[in-house]
Amino acid sequence: MSDEEDLEDFEPDLDDLEREDDEKEIEEWEDYRKEGEEESEEWVSTPLTEDMMKEGLSLLCKTGNGLAHAYVKLEVKDRDLTDIYLLHSYIHLRYVDISENHLTDLSPLNYLTHLLWLKADGNQLRSARLNELPYLQIASFAYNQITDTEGISHPRLASLDLKGNRIPMVTGLDPQKLISLHTLELRGNQLSSTLGINLPKLKNLFLVDHWVKGWCQEGDTVLGARMPGF
């Protein structure tokens, strides 16, 4: 079976992305982020190394025409990483967990055109911008310092988690490109309206637990509250 057939058969497991909605979780992560900002000047540059890759790689799968094999899963969470440049040469990766590090740049991920699942929570990211990744279906950028929603245009993206960031307004979520997005998590940001959220397949929208001016109700679904779906 080819890479493309494997990727098209992938079924997103939304249980892999935790949706704890209590305020305590957000407050704890906010405290963690503030501590990280205060200590940022003391961080030592820690690039991803080949040894770390060997420790974090798993899930051997067929690639290409099925005659070759490669590890397609990587977990390097909580390693104090400041640089993941090495990832640009691991083009067969499909599942990547780089959460709880000190990353500010995700551009090496642009080379991972087979990527299906990405978790980059708890870093120092100011943007979730990446090149269009044709197979990416689940992406989580929770508890960073992201200030906008520009540069997210993956056609098969089904679930996007941006909770606990600093987004004041939703912009750049193109309904012509995000044709598969059905779950969007935006709790713990600075939103004051749902303007900019106009996605054709959206079923699960997580915003806040109270009414905000400009937010509305469609049928039995209150868009301004945390609801499980339409």
Q: Which two tokens stand for residue 76?
A: 């390097």
Distance from C-alpha of 173 to C-alpha of 153, rounded to nearest angstrom: 7
Kindly indicate the confidence band of residue 31, based on its pLDDT and cuts at 50, 70 and 90. low
Q: pLDDT by residue (tens digit) across 144-182?
A: 999 999 999 999 999 999 999 999 999 999 999 999 999
Is it the case that residue 213 has pLDDT exceeding 80?
no
Please tell me the predicted confidence (pLDDT) of residue 219.
40
Kindly indicate the confidence band of residue 225, based on its pLDDT and cuts at 50, 70 and 90. very low
Kindly indicate the confidence band of residue 18, based on its pLDDT and cuts at 50, 70 and 90. very low
Which of these ranges, 4-8, 21-25, 193-197, 212-216, has the smallest mean pLDDT? 212-216
Is it the case that residue 21 has pLDDT exceeding 50?
no
- The full DSSP string for 63-120 is ETTTTEEEEEEEE--SS--SB-GGGGG-TT--EEE--SS-----GGGGG-TT--EEE-
Is it the case that residue 223 has pLDDT exceeding 70?
no
29 φ/ψ angles, rounded to the nearest 5 degrees: -70, -35
Q: CB of 114 within 8 A of CB of 93? A: yes
Please tell me the predicted confidence (pLDDT) of residue 150.
97
Cα 19 to chain centroid distance, Å, stands at 13
Helix intervals (H) in the chain = 3-8, 23-38, 50-56
